Chain A
């Protein structure tokens, strides 16, 4: 895990399974957002008939955990477990990072050294999963309520609306930081190719790069007879080989 290319320019941040889990989440949440918007906004109500929009909405909701389950069964589940453990644990530097408040998201000057995931990314993952759980619970109640009135609560629709609003804000912030914000754009290749620029990583995820480099050094000195890493193209845009 976490090997660098021979030129040392890039460093591996996410496994193929982690990236597949990310893009499956993006695709299914995108589908739920689109169909949900058709169900919610009067101006969009005409794009699709209500029963069809509802079916697509529900099937995307089912597809999300089913896809993740399949990934844990056939994919590299150790890498998924590593990400969950990383996101769960906040060390002193993470807490200091969070104490910088919302401004820290945009201004990284003087941030304490961060691991593979910074404290904001950890919080983003935890809140995203929590909100998905809330949407799953309230959505299930809405679905059950149509079949058995014992499950019908007026609050289900309010919480489903509010959680959608919260998740929308979270995703918009995530997209801004990933696509547009200069300091954090460097992370984007991590979730497309799996690799990020080593210098960028050293600046923003110092503790992770140090740990990786210690592991690399130990591998290089201790196991010279091990097969070499597959050669990597110098450009990040090309598909990189998987291990």
Chain B
């Protein structure tokens, strides 16, 4: 019989693979950014792969597919709650507001990052001046057209200098996958705070947990300082 002699190379290959995997977790944890760049670089270089793989770095997460659609003629961004002047903004209304551009990195809590994303949109401060929220606001809640998805920011987080109510990404209007027609962008926090397909912004007196926060993620999702990542 074969099994009576020879070398135990089978178990060596098995254990070697296991050991490489465990070592790989330790090593790539330390150089996560470089690994992401390398893997995206390789995937980008292969013709078919760069069409289908998330090589731009983006991975698209929908919690209640299909991703929501909207009618551009009837879409309204509702801004209400404890505000002096609730409004419903059409896309034309939004387009007429003063817009800004920014370039910022986008970090997902699951470990991937997209560097240098070019966003365009309206600063939250512009909307605050428009609706005049009450003084006792403790959370600004963003509801998504995607049914169950919701998340909120504290007022001080909303007015961070690079928090944006975005309508454009990388020079074009937001695509459906990236949250058309309106999404929140808060680069200082992990991506689950940057609600896509926003339908309503509500100024609340009480704090509440967002979709993923009800499932164990941190409410204050600071990049590098939350969810156990440092």
Contacts and interface: CB of A to CB of B under 8 A. Distances in A.
Nearest to B15: A130
Nearest to B9: A90
A122 B10 contact: yes
B59 A42 contact: yes
A92 B15 contact: no
A89 B3 contact: yes
A66 interface: no
A123 B10 CA distance: 6
Nearest to A37: B52
Nearest to A117: B2
Interface string B10-25: 1111111110111011
B194 to A, nearest CB: 16
Contact of A46 (B2, B12, B62, B110): B62
A94 interface: yes
- Looking at chain A's contact residues, is the secondary structure mostly helix, strand, loop, or mixed? helix
A154 B28 CA distance: 7
A155 B27 contact: yes
Given A46-B67, A153-B29, A91 B5 contact: yes
Interface in B205-223: 215-217
B61 A90 contact: no
Interface residues of B, number: 55
A141 B227 contact: no
Interface in A115-161: 115-116, 122-123, 125-127, 129-131, 133-134, 137-138, 141-142, 145-159, 161
B46 to A, nearest CB: 12
Contacts, number: 167
B10 A87 contact: yes
B123 to A, nearest CB: 28
Contact of B25 (A126, A129, A156): A156
A159 B111 contact: no
B228 to A, nearest CB: 2
B6 interface: yes
B117 interface: no
A43 interface: yes
Interface in A212-237: none
Contact of B61 (A50, A146, A151, A154): A50
Contact of A131 (B17, B26, B54): B17
A201 interface: no
A162 to B, nearest CB: 7
Given A122-B10, A137-B21, A155-B28, A45 B3 contact: no
A130 B10 CA distance: 10
Interface of A: 40-43, 45-51, 82, 84-92, 94-95, 115-116, 122-123, 125-127, 129-131, 133-134, 137-138, 141-142, 145-159, 161-163, 207, 211
Given A45-B60, A155-B28, 6 more contacts: A46-B65, A86-B2, A134-B22, A155-B24, A158-B111, A159-B25
7 closest residue pairs by CB, A with B: A149-B228, A130-B17, A134-B21, A155-B29, A88-B10, A155-B28, A91-B6
